[in-house]
Structure formats: C-alpha cells, structure tokens
Amino acid sequence: MYLRHIKAMLACFIFITLAGCGGSAVDTQPSKLLATTSGVFGLTSDSNFYTVDTGAGLVFKIRRLDNGSNTQSPGDIASMVYNGVEFQDQTRGSQINSGFDYLYSGVSAVSVSAATVGTDYIKITVNAGNLTHYYMAKRGMPNIYMGTYFTTEPDTLNLARFIVRVPVSVLPNGPAPSDIRNNTGAIESSDVFGLANGETRSKHYSNMRLKDWSYIGATGSSVGMWIVRDNHEGDSGGPFFRSLLNQCTDTDQEITYIINYGEGQTEAYRPGILNTYTLTFTSGATPGAIDTSWFSGMGMTGYIGASGRGRVTGVGINGRDTNYGYTVGFSNATAQYWTAADPTSGYYSMSGMIPGTYTMKIYKNELAVDSRSVSVTAGGVLQLNTITIGGDPSSATAVWRIGNWDGTPAEFINGGKVTTMHPSDVRMSSWTPATYVVGSSSAATGFPAYQWKSVNGSVTVKFNLSASQVANHTLRIGITTAYSGARPQVTMNSWVSAVPAASTQPTSRTLTVGTYRGNNTTFSYAIPASAFVAGTNTLTIAPASGSSGTTFLSPGYSYDAVDLL
C-alpha cells in the first residue's frame, strides 16, 4: 500500500519554504494578510491555505498541509470563487494526476511555498518528488497560470495530467461525447459507458488532434472555464496525437490538460521540459490568446526565453496534393513542434524551438511523405530551399486503389465516427460490408475503417484483370495503428502470403478509445503472376496475431489504404 493511503496514521513531511525570485515571501504565521480587501490583488496565508485574490473577480486557494484525505493533497487547488460562486469541488482537489502526494512510488512528501513577485505577480510553488508545479496570478486577470516541470515521469500512473474538478451544477455544458451522465453502466473496462438508446460515451471521446485545439473547457450560466495550452513542446505523440480532454460525471465537470499521456503512446516521454498552461474564466465566450511573456521574470525551473530559441523556415514544398493540408513537424528526444504549410505555396515557418538537431517530417494530412534532419541554434534562423516530396505512395501507378494514402481511415466505413464513439455504438454502420468490387464499390460504403479478428475477420475484394495484366504484382496495405500485434495476412485466389512481422504500435487500447493514431505502417506483398487469373480475382484480407481477445478487443488494425501496383 502506498504511503498516500495511510496518511491518516502517518504525518506527511511538509516543507513550507520561503521563496524569493526578486519578490517577498509570505509570512508563515496564520492569517498574515497581504491584501485586506476582496477584489484587491494580493496574497494571504493561514495554516491551511494560500489564498490569491486576482483583483478580477477570481479568488483561489492552494492547500498547504496534509489533511489526511485520499482525494485532497497539499498543492491542490482547494477553492476557486469567481464572481461569488464556488467552482471547485469541495470534496476533491484540482491536481496533477491523483494528487501531488501520489506521483512517485514511496514518495508522499510535498512542499508548498508562496511569494509575491514585484507588485503585479504572485507565484506558488509545489515540489513533490521529481516534479515542480507552479500556480501564478497576474494583477487584474481572472486566470490561474500554471507550469509543470519534472525530470522523471510520475510513475504511480505513468503519465502526467492536470485535472480541474468543477461541480457539474455550475458548469454543466461540456463536449457531448464525454458526458457520461445517465449511463446504464460500463461496456468496456471502467471508462466506456453505454446509454439506454444504444449510444456510447467516454472521457476518451472528447479527444481532438493536438494541432487542432488551443483551448478546452466547458460552460455554465454566464460563465466559461477554459484551459489554454502552450506550444506543447514537452508532450509526446506529435501534431496528430489524440487524448482525453474532458469528462462530465453526475457530480463533476472534469477539464483535463494532458502533459504526457499513456494511452496510444507512440514514442518515449519527454521529461525535463517546462509545460505551461492557463486556466481562465470568461463570461461564457471562448478564450482568446493569453499573454505569458511575463513568465520570463517568474524564476520557473526549465523556462527558456525567446532569445534562447531558434527558427526554421522553408521557401515551399513541391509535389503536394492540393486535396490535402500539409503539416511540417519537428521532433527529437527533448521537444516536438509543428506548423502548417501554406496551402498555396507550401511556405512554412516554425519559431520558438529549443536548440538541437531535429527530425523534420512533412505530412500529407497525417502521413509522412518526406523526412530529413535539421539543426536549430539559439537566436538563429535556418532557411531551407524548396523541398520536392519524394515519398508519397500515391505517386505510384496502381491497377486499383481503395482509400487514400493520407495516414487516416477517414474515407472508409465509420471513419468519421471512430474518434467520438465506441465501435459498438448504435450509430455505427455495419462493420461487415458485402464483398468490395473494384470499379463499382466505394470506400465510404464498402470497406471498413477498422478490422478485428473477432468482428469482421475476413474482408474480400474482387477485381478483374485482362490477360496482359496477369503478371507479378505488389499488393500494399497501409495501417495507421494496430491492437494486440495484429497485421494483415492475404490470400489471392489460392495463393496465401506469409504472416508478416508485427509493426511497432502503442501497447494500450486505441481502436476503442477514440484514436486510430499509431505508427503508420505499410505492408507489401510480392505476389507472383501464377497467383492471378485473367478475369475475376478474389483477394481476402484477415488479421493475424499470436494474441487473442473478444469482439472489439480482439486483435485488429485501422486502415489507411490498399492498392495493387
């Protein structure tokens, strides 16, 4: 049993540190008053809390001491009163993971300190194991600015996320796919739920591609609460990574800011990066840009200012398919970045990058079609000449092609639904369509986005060849992710392929928790002329795996495209 669960019997070792950073530390005597009037910017302290009045209608409290509760920890947000209304669940804290005293195995000590910085800023610092978290306030702004830095990933949950817990009575309106109120019980694990009408809901279905959102949140009567993100350079997964963002239960609206996430993980975590984000209150309107330039004076560990960063820019990209948007991504073990290419010229520019050598990839929608190495220096600008794409599989001449090589299953049956509902949802079309006939069937109605061993374990494609086309051919099958080591084995008429090696994919659930995002992989099969006939040919595709499972948790994969060269 972790130390956290016996807190009521053992006193947690709490440090109360007087912090500097060019400002004044808060007196540790109870009820020392730094701002005496509600609505006046300032910081107060008593034996239990640091209280911050933003001077903009928002007063929040950070818990200082251990009170023996498994749902409340030193360092938690314990109260958020905005325009006289309490927006913090009083039975649980808003916190990193399940509390700062439960981040690392065998570590429950938490230190909480506070200081004013100059006359316009306040900083509260929480230290827990190898993690440091900051809460900050700026005079006249109804915001809680936050920063999180850790040198090793919190290991009790093997992830890092900040969860804001707000009573649903004051903030009832969040994303519908993640509203689990009035469900009839879990249909998968303990986090995917069914409704009486056959629809499904889960916190996982609030996801969006990381590149597509800059804020998340929910609203109530004349109020909105939002978390506005930074550049997310310390996350892992890249621009198309999807993860839960929100959950609405019978008691709370939970707004979740993912720093590093274990579900659908495609690459190693990136510790050692300061991740900043802002919780902001509005009258209900969505938030605009948040000024964080003043962070440079807050003395946060890991902060790197603009002068210590560099930029990459490119003249253009040739060979683009105008039906798709293109993203230019940069990644190494330290950080990740991305930027959109101009749809007309292909021009791109990425600034604010930490110095280092990066793998730069050009993505056609979500499929990497070019890769190279670039180096970034502090204060420098790397200017690249026009790049001509050489790795788009669509450029190869095909006898026939099903779907599009773009790194997603969007064009197939249910491809537009898989991120917002469970595959069993009543709104899904059948996963077992009739035989796909090249020339008359369409991907949208005739070919499934996903294939599982125990659901639609055999997909059949029929096509015609002329006598002159009976020759050696290459069959390509592209997948975006796989579950339980699934990979496609094919039969062409009476010819049977070997079982290919499994691709490297996330080890967690993906296909049932709202994401097809894994590591795009293409399987190629060299099929001899003797396998084909003049006239009608029959291709059968089936998932192969050494693992087992039932229905939607059986081995399976997500399609990108299938073609015969």
pLDDT digits (tens, 9 = 90+) for 149-184: 999 999 999 999 999 999 999 999 999 999 999 999
CATH hierarchy code of domain 306-391: 2.60.40.1120
For residues 215 and 232, what is the distance between their CA atoms, to the nearest angstrom?
A: 12
Given this chain, do its domains 3-297 and 306-391 carry the same CATH topology? no
- Residue-wise DSSP of 259-311: EE--TT--S----S--EEEEEEEESSSPP-----GGGGGS--TT---GGG-EE
Which has the closest alpha carbon to 453: 479, 482, 425, 496?
A: 482
pLDDT of residue 70: 87
Q: What is the mean pLDDT of residues 195-205?
A: 98
The mean pLDDT value of the chain amounts to 93
**3-state DSSP assignment of residue 330:** strand
Q: What is the dihedral of CA 421, 427, 431, 437, to 10 degrees?
A: -120
In this predicted structure, the answer to whether residue 492 has a pLDDT above a threshold of 90 is yes
Q: What is the mean pLDDT of residues 225-247?
A: 96
Which two three-digit tokens encode residue 466?
């002329």
Q: What is the mean pLDDT of residues 497-525?
A: 97
pLDDT of residue 347: 98
Q: Are 112 and 74 in contact (CB under 8 A)?
A: yes
- Predicted confidence band of residue 19 (pLDDT cuts 50, 70, 90): very low
Which two three-digit tokens encode residue 156?
């009790």
Which two three-digit tokens encode residue 434?
């009739």
For residues 51 and 26, what is the distance between their CA atoms, to the nearest angstrom?
A: 11
CA geometry: angle at 176 spanning 165 and 235, to 5°? 60
CATH 3.40.50.740 matches 3-297: no
**3-state DSSP assignment of residue 205:** helix
Q: Phi and psi (nearest 5°) for 239?
A: -65, -20
Residue-wise pLDDT for 426-443, tens only, equals: 999 999 999 999 999 999
Q: How far is CA 530 from CA 58, 460, 471, in A?
A: 75, 20, 8
What does pTM read for this prediction? 0.92
In the chain, domain spans? 3-297, 306-391, 394-564
> Residue 239 pairs with which residues in a beta bridge?
none
Which has the closest alpha carbon to 275: 123, 133, 147, 134?
A: 147
For residues 123 and 21, what is the distance between their CA atoms, to the nearest angstrom?
A: 9
Length of the chain: 565
* Residue written as token pair 């981040």: 103
Which has the closest alpha carbon to 11: 96, 74, 61, 62?
A: 74
pLDDT of residue 37: 41
Q: What count of other Cβ atoms lies within 10 Å of the Cβ of residue 469?
A: 15
- Predicted confidence band of residue 25 (pLDDT cuts 50, 70, 90): low
pLDDT of residue 2: 41
Among 128-137, 249-258, 261-270, name the one with the lowest average pLDDT.
Answer: 261-270
- Residue-wise DSSP of 359-407: EEEEEETTEEEEEEEEEE-TT-EEEE--EE----GGGS--SEEEE-SSS
Q: Are 23 and 116 in contact (CB under 8 A)?
A: yes
Q: Are 404 and 411 in contact (CB under 8 A)?
A: yes
Please name the CATH architecture into which domain 394-564 falls.
Sandwich (2.60)
Q: H or E element: which one contains 443?
A: helix 443-446
Q: Which DSSP symbol is given to 451? A: E
In this predicted structure, the answer to whether residue 350 has a pLDDT above a threshold of 80 is yes
For residues 452 and 461, what is the distance between their CA atoms, to the nearest angstrom?
A: 17
In this predicted structure, the answer to whether residue 64 has a pLDDT above a threshold of 90 is yes
Residue-wise pLDDT for 78-136, tens only, equals: 999 999 999 999 999 999 999 999 999 999 999 999 999 999 999 999 999 999 999 99
Q: What is the mean pLDDT of residues 414-420?
A: 98
For residues 3 and 10, what is the distance between their CA atoms, to the nearest angstrom?
A: 8
Q: Are 54 and 139 in contact (CB under 8 A)?
A: yes
For residues 120 and 41, what is the distance between their CA atoms, to the nearest angstrom?
A: 8
Q: What is the mean pLDDT of residues 305-323?
A: 97
In this predicted structure, the answer to whether residue 224 has a pLDDT above a threshold of 50 is yes
Which residues, 6 or more positions from 379, have their beta carbon under 8 angstroms from its beta carbon? Answer: 307, 308, 309, 310
Percent above pLDDT 70 for the chain: 93
For residues 170 and 166, what is the distance between their CA atoms, to the nearest angstrom?
A: 8
Q: What is the mean pLDDT of residues 137-143?
A: 98
